Amino acid sequence: MATNKLALIRYKTIDNCLRNRYRKWTLDSLIEKVSDALYEYEGIKDGVSRRTIQADIQLMRSDKLGYNAPIVVKDRKYYTYADANYSISNSPINDADMEKMREVVSVLRQLNGFQYFEDMSDLVARLENTVQQRSTGGRSHIQFEGNGQLKGLQFITPLHQAILRKIPLLIEYQSFKAVAPSQGVYYPYLLKEYRNRWFLIAKPKKGKTLATLALDRMVDIQEMAANGFVEYDGVDFERYYADTIGVTKSGRDRGRKVVLWVHPRHAPYVLTKPLHASQELLKQDETGAIICICVVLNFELERELLGFGEAIKVLSPRDLQQRVAKRIVQMQALYEPQPVLP
């Protein structure tokens, strides 16, 4: 089992190297990277032999593990993938891996009844449903919310590993406003999901405040030298986002008291599914419900409130009320009849 574990570390490290097309990889540089990884993960100081890495490359090229990696040698010296989009992480799951997944799901299901594992109910259901469907080819018995067209999901695992290992990242990123992607070095701290979109909370090397990067706007990520990592020294992220709906927040933003009127027909929905953990019921009668939440006044809050249409009205604060009212007027203008040109 230990040998298999070390082999997987070697394969994954080689894969990460060959996916990095900003550097030319010789056999010696691959040996150096794998040796560093073995020391970091397992404390192995002896490194790895030239013969072992050569055998690993041949095995990755073959179909024995199902990789069939398109590893080529350029100029008789530099190793790379012929297909720039290839990764062993994209390889299909074999029967042995599927059986191991069944065992893992079985153990998780048994632990799910314990208090410390209550938050795993959703995860266990997802895993069990996916494994069952993939292994039998049958229909799914649970349908979860998701977006199969969403980009950037392939970055979740490498970003999570970079956070755990404290590795700076060179990220190629293109915002919705940019005409072309740009590169920058970031120190990754947190992965956060909101409405099926994933975001990386990180500090740019050239900057003092946290940045929120959407994974679906990332073009590529590459690991940098670990010794340059800058630790996060702010408040715990659980507290940082405790007063926030969504992900948009700066270090200076603070939660504000927002009072809302809810239509009586929609009040049961809002009361049983609170808009935010801070929600309080101030009053309820036949005219509707008055609730209060303490949140940052960001774009996601406005979108959440506008999503209820005529069922919710902002009573205070006044600046939020004016912003929402302005957007309602702009929405109404979209539906007004257009003049017919002669």
Does residue 115 form part of some domain? yes
Does residue 251 form part of some domain? no
On whether both 36 and 100 belong to a single domain, the answer is no
Question: Residue 17: which CATH number?
Answer: 1.10.10
Does residue 142 form part of some domain? no
Does residue 67 form part of some domain? yes
Does residue 241 form part of some domain? no
Q: How many domains does the chain have?
A: 4
Question: Residue 178: which CATH number?
Answer: 2.30.30
On whether both 73 and 101 belong to a single domain, the answer is no
pTM: 0.66
- For residue 190, what are the contacts with CB-CB under 8 A and spacing of at least 6? 163, 200, 201, 202, 237
User: CA Rg, the chain, in Å?
Assistant: 25
On whether both 55 and 7 belong to a single domain, the answer is yes
Q: Name the residue range of residue 40's domain.
A: 2-90
Cα pseudo-dihedral 250, 257, 119, 233, rounded to 10 = 30
- For residue 310, what are the contacts with CB-CB under 8 A and spacing of at least 6? 263
Q: Distance of CA 326 to CAs 313, 317, 331, Å?
A: 13, 15, 9
On whether both 204 and 221 belong to a single domain, the answer is yes
On whether both 13 and 83 belong to a single domain, the answer is yes
On whether both 82 and 110 belong to a single domain, the answer is no
> Dihedral of CA 31/37/38/44: which sign?
positive
| Residue count of the chain | 342
Q: What is the pLDDT along the chain (342 residues), one digit of tens a residue?
A: 344 778 888 999 999 899 888 889 999 999 999 998 888 888 888 889 999 999 999 999 988 877 889 999 999 999 999 998 888 877 666 666 666 667 776 666 665 555 555 666 666 666 666 666 666 666 656 666 666 677 888 888 889 888 988 999 999 999 888 888 899 999 999 999 898 889 999 999 988 889 999 999 999 898 888 888 999 988 889 999 999 999 999 888 999 999 999 999 999 999 999 999 999 999 999 999 999 999 999 999 999 999 999 999 999 999 999 999 999 999 999 998 877 766
Q: Where are the beta strands (DSSP E) in the chain?
A: 71-74, 78-81, 169-173, 182-194, 197-204, 211-214, 218-223, 256-262, 280-285, 288-295, 312-316
**Domain final position from 234, 264, 287:** 234
Cα pseudo-dihedral 297, 303, 306, 311, rounded to 10 = -80
Does residue 143 form part of some domain? no
